[in-house]
Structure 1
Amino acid sequence: MPFLVAAVALIAVLCLLNLLLTFGVIRKLRAQAEQKADSVAEGLIIPAGSPAPPFSVVTTAGERVTRESLGETMLGFFSPDCRACKERLPLFVEQARTTARETGRSVLAVVHGTEEEAREQVAALSEVAHIVVEPGDGPLGEAFDITGYPVFGLITRDGTLAATAFDPARLPAPSKTTV
């Protein structure tokens, strides 16, 4: 009988040790996934820390916007035929609605495609962003050296592309002094 109790106790200790190791492995895998998600945006857009290129474009509402007129800006590039864009579009809209508008941060969404192809994305973005529809080799796509979709960025008031991300939720929180 004492051997049976010792065996059960040993198995219990081994199970607890296994559980702790499993939690450690899961934590490491999550950290690696987050690191990989951060690095996905690298190469899709000019590097974070670069000066944002000057631009002057006309939005779908007929409004002319420039780099200077927007101030601190949350930026998103989308393509109508991109599955990841369809998944991240609601996240971008929600991020724009909850943080950008509350703090005065401008939002610029660029959809690469034709007006017809972009209709659904333009409708989803119309309440929260200045929207530009242009071909993939359009002026904003060329200026920001876009090579994949979706990609998001944050332009500071001084004109620096401060952050880039593959997920809009990974952009830094807006400054409270933005006007």
Structure 2
Amino acid sequence: MPYVVAALIILTVVCLLNLLLTFGIIRRLRGQSGGHHDVPEDLTLPAGAVVPEFTATTTAGGAVSRSTVSGGVIAFFSPGCGACEKQLPRFTDLARTLAGDEDTPVLAVLHGTMEETRDQLAALSPVVEVVVEEPDDPIGTAFAVTGYPSFVVIDADGKIAATSYTLDRLPLPIVSAARAE
């Protein structure tokens, strides 16, 4: 009988050590990933693709089209998206930086209803043109948006110069200039 008790105690200690080591490995792996999960880069049309023609109306009543956003930056956000909430303040900073530059249009597209996007609209509308659209509306369809947030830089010819799910991953001078301020 004493051997059974000793075996159970040893087994319990070994199981606890195994559990502690497992938690340590998980913690180390989380630290190595930098907190980022694998996010596909193809959340919109790829770089080099020509943006199809589209037209839409901003919440202020203005018209936007491929020609009015060429040479600029478009951000796509969705309500209830945690990553969108993290990127929204950085995008508004970028929009403020570029506000006086008429050669670099900035547009935010909110995916959802006016009610669903109310908080994002309140944060963005003072600094940038905003379009609120539901699924299958013109801008999201033209850019083939499949995830949020998505940031797209369009060259003057209407081609996509760069895309990303975070502003940090856009290797462009306008984004670097916005970070420096």
Q: Same fold (TM over 0.5)?
A: yes
Give the C-alpha shift of residue 41 in structure 1. 5.1
Map 1:14-93 → 2, pairs under 5 A: 40=39, 42-93=41-92
Unaligned runs of 5+ in 2: 1-31, 176-181
**1: CA distance, partners of 2:168 / 2:52:** 23
What secondary structure sits across from 1:40 in the alignment?
A: coil
2:118 maps to 1:107: no
Deviations 1:123-167 (A, max 9, x none): 111122211101122211111111110010101111111000111
Secondary structure of the 1:60 match is coil
Is the Cα contact below 8 Å between 1:41 and 1:164 reproduced in 2?
Answer: no
TM-score for the superposition, normalised by structure 1: 0.71
The corresponding residue for 1:136 is 135
Alpha-carbon distance between aligned partners in 2 of 1:49 and 1:77, rounded to the nearest angstrom? 19
Whole-Å separation in 2 of the counterparts to 1:169 and 1:129: 19
Query: Do 1:95 and 1:168's aligned partners in 2 also have CA atoms closer than 8 Å?
Result: no
More helix by share: 1
Structure 1 runs (4+) greater than 4 angstroms displaced:
none
Find the aligned partners of 2:90 and 2:118 in 1 and give their Cα distance. 18
Question: Helix, strand or coil: the match of 2:116?
Answer: helix
Instruction: List alignment gaps of at least 5 residues for structure 1.
Output: 1-28
Whether the 8 Å CA contact 2:74–2:107 is kept in 1: the answer is yes
Aligned residue number for residue 170 of structure 1: 169
Partner residue, 2:147: 148
Structure 1 residue 102: deviation in Å? 4.3
Conserved in 2, the CA contact under 8 Å of 1:103 and 1:174?
no
Q: Is the 8 A contact 2:68 2:105 kept in 1?
A: no
Deviates more, 1:166-175 or 1:74-83: 166-175
Q: Residue 69 of structure 2 contacts residue 154 of structure 2 at CA under 8 Å; is this kept in 1?
A: no
TM-score by length of 2: 0.71
Q: How far does residue 168 in structure 1 lie from its aligned partner after superposition? A: 1.8
- Partner Cα separation in structure 1 for residue 130 and residue 49 of structure 2: 23
Matched letter for residue 64 of structure 1: A
How many residues are matched? 141
Whole-Å separation in 1 of the counterparts to 2:121 and 2:49? 28
